[in-house]
Structure 1
Amino acid sequence: MPGGARAKRSGTEAERKVKRAFEAFGWKVVRSGGSLGAADLACFKRGKVLLVQVKRRAGSRRYTSEYIEIEGFEIYTVVDFGRGDFRIEKSGRIISKRSMSLEDFLSNLQTELDTRQLER
């Protein structure tokens, strides 16, 4: 299999894993298939919308995400560093193995959404 096809397949698999992680926390997730530009996933929960770009960099220690701005939306980049090590940061930041894990991010976000709902 040519290198480009292999890279695309592994990138698509990383997107699926990130999608499943969000869904495990109750998010509705749509793979955008390029229709949202740089965002690969649109994630929806309780009126909150996150746009997510997914990158795969197995073997790397860090990734500098490009700054993406779409008015009114929070945009994040998730990097798959391999072996299930998914890290997340806001768009435009350096992502390393010291960045927050995707699971911790989703857990913290769940707590934030639950707190907001209780305050209503």
Structure 2
Amino acid sequence: MSAYSKGANFERRVRKHLEQQGWVVFRSAGSHSPADLIALKSGEVLLVQCQLDSTFLKTKVETLRILGAELNVAVALAWRQDSKLVLKAL
């Protein structure tokens, strides 16, 4: 399985997790945007950057943080740790 496929599968896993919590989730596949997922719930917006492990590029994290501040929305990072999903708000 290619790195792209592994990453896409993980994004789908995170999307499913958020949907089970009542979010409506859009995946921005291949967009190279700061957020891989955009989640909406009752007037709330959550931008999520997904990574297979916890080694996020500092520039990507900072870009996501700035975008969240400019839009006044929540942002989070999602990664896999010991095959478990970790979702951490910034």
- Normalised TM-score (structure 1): 0.60
Instruction: Name the residue aligned to 2:45.
Output: 49
Q: 1:48 to 1:31 in 2, by over 3 A?
A: same
Pairing 1:24-43 to 2, within 5 Å after superposition = 24-35=20-31, 37-43=33-39
Give the aligned partner of residue 8 of structure 1: 4
Q: Retained in 2: the 8 A contact 1:54–1:79?
A: yes
How far apart in 1 are the matches of 2:82 and 2:27? Answer: 21
Residue aligning to 2:77: 77
1:20 aligns with: 16
Aligned pair count reads 82
The answer on whether the counterparts of 1:41 and 1:51 sit within 8 Å (CA) in structure 2 is: yes
Decide which structure has the larger Cα Rg and report it: 1
Asked if structure 2 preserves the Cα contact closer than 8 Å seen for 1:27 and 1:44, the reply is: yes
**CA apart distance, 1:75:** 1.3
- What SS is found at the alignment partner of 1:77? strand
- Contact 1:56–1:82 under 8 Å retained in 2: no
The TM-score normalised by the length of structure 2 is 0.77
Deviation at 1:33, TM superposition (A): 2.4
The separation in 2 between residues aligned to 1:36 and 1:46, in whole angstroms, is 27
Distance 1:17 1:31, change over 3 A: same
> Are the equivalent residues in 1 in contact too, given 2:26–2:38 (CA < 8 A)?
yes
2:88 matched to which residue of 1? Answer: 89
Q: In structure 2, how many angstroms separate the alpha carbons of the residues matched to 1:75 and 1:36?
A: 16
Instruction: Point out where structure 2 has 5 or more consecutive residues left out of the alignment.
Output: none
Aligned residues: CA RMSD: 2.0
1:63 counterpart = 2:55:
yes
